[in-house]
Amino acid sequence: MKLATWNVNSLTVRLPQVLDWLQHPTEALASAPDVLVLQETKTTDDKFPHQAFTDAGYHAQWFGQKTYNGVALLSRTPATDVVRNIPGFEDDMARVIAATVDGVRVIGAYFPNGQAPESDKFVYKMRWLEALQAWVHEQLKQYPQLVLMGDFNITVDDRDVWDPVALAGTIHCTDEERAHFQQLIELGLHDAYRLFEQPEKTYSWWDYREFAFRRNRGLRIDHILISDALKSQVQSCIIDKAPRKNERPSDHAPVIVTLDNTTTHSSPSS
DNA sequence: ATGCCTCAGCTCCTGAGA
C-alpha cells in the first residue's frame, strides 16, 4: 500500500499536474499511490473536481473553502468513516480530512502556518496542535493502524532546515512547534522519513523566491507519521522532487510512504 | 529589503503563504 501527501497550493491551478502524477508516475513514485491527501486546495466544495478523479480511478473525499486552506483525500478503494476537521475543536478553516481505507486510518492535515512566534496566528497554531494531539490520541485507540500525514508546517530538527543558524527560532523552527511534534511522536507514531537513511539536505518545500529550489534552500515540513502497529510494514519513505521541477509548480513536493500490508485482508486464516 | 514569487479575490492592489 502506497500513501502520499502533497500540498498543491491551489488545486485549480495544479489539477493537471496531480492527474499527470497519478496517471504517469515519476521515477521516484514508480507506481500510482493507493491514497493521496492534498492540502491547500483553495476551492469551495461545489467546485471540487471530483469527476476528474473518478475518471482517473480514485474515490474522492473533500473539504474546502474559498481562497485559503482546503483538504482532500483520494483513494483507490472507497474511504469510510470520513471526518472533517478535529471533532470538538471550533475552527472556521478547512484543515483536516480523515477516513479509513483498506483497514488503515488515514488523517490528512494542513497544519496552521503560525506566521511568526508570538503572533495571534502562532497562538492559534498551538491551540490547534493541542486539539490535534488529543484527537489523534483517541483515534489511535480506535484505529491502531494509523497514518497522520500532511503539511505540518514544522521542521522536526535542524536537518530539516537549509540554514539552521539563520532560521533558528523563526516560524517552523521554534522549540514550541518542535515540542508539539514530539508530543505527537510520543503518542506512538514514527516519522517515516527518518526510519531510513536519507540523503543530506532533503526538503519538501522551497520558497518560490530567490531561486530557492535551484539553490536547494528549503525546509522539510511535509511529513508522514505512521503508528507503532504499522512500523514493521514500512518499506520506504521518499520525497519526490520531480513535480517541483514542473512549469508553474507547487512550492511543495509530495512525500510518499510504502507499506507492505497487502496481505492484511487477503491472507488465509489458517 | 516588513522584499524577492505565487495565488485568490469585492482583481490592476492586497493579504497570506512559509
Question: How many Å apart are A146 CA and B10 C1'?
Answer: 43
A151 Cβ contacts chain B strand, under 7 Å: yes
3 state SS of A101: strand
Nucleotide nearest to A170 (CA to C1'): B18
Is the pLDDT assigned to residue A117 strictly greater than 80?
yes
Chain A span 24-63 residues with beta carbon within 7 Å of strand B: 40, 42
**Grid cell for residue A204:** 519538501
Which A residues between 58 and 87 have a beta carbon under 7 A from any strand B atom?
A: 66-68
- Strand B nucleotides, any atom under 7 Å to a protein CB: 4-9, 16-18
Which letter, b or e, does each residue of A62-93 get, where b requires 16 or more Cβ atoms within 10 Å of its Cβ? bbbbeeebbbbbbbbeebeeebbbbeeeeeee
User: Is A173's CB less than 7 Å from nucleic acid strand B?
Assistant: no
Q: One of A34, A102, A151, A240 is an active-site residue; which one?
A: A151
A110 is catalytic: yes
Residue A61 pLDDT more than 80? yes
Which pLDDT score is estimated for A261? Answer: 84
Question: Mind listing the pLDDT tens digit for each residue in A126-157?
Answer: 999 999 999 999 999 999 999 999 999 999 99
The pTM assigned to this predicted structure is: 0.96
**Nearest CA among A136, A133, A159 for reference residue A221:** A159
CB A211 within 7 Å, strand B: no
Shortest CA to C1' contact from A11: nucleotide: B7
Cα A62 from Cα A135, distance rounded (Å): 20
Query: Of all protein residues, which has its CA closest to the C1' atom of B9?
Result: A67
What's the rounded Cα separation, in Å, for the pair A104 and A61?
A: 16
Pick one of 3.40.50.300, 2.160.10.10, 3.60.10.10, 3.40.50.2300 as the CATH number of A2-259.
3.60.10.10
Q: Clarify whether A45 is annotated catalytic.
A: no
Residue A270's pLDDT band (boundaries 50, 70, 90)?
Answer: very low
Instruction: Using alpha carbons, select from A239, A219, A114, A119 the residue that is nearest to residue A166.
Output: A219
For residue A114, what pLDDT band results from cuts at 50, 70 and 90?
very high
Reported as a single tens digit per residue, the pLDDT across A161-193 is 999 999 999 999 999 999 999 999 999 999 999
Residue A237 contacts residue A256 (beta carbons within 8 Å)? yes
Give the model's pLDDT for residue A70.
98
Model pLDDT, residue A266: 44
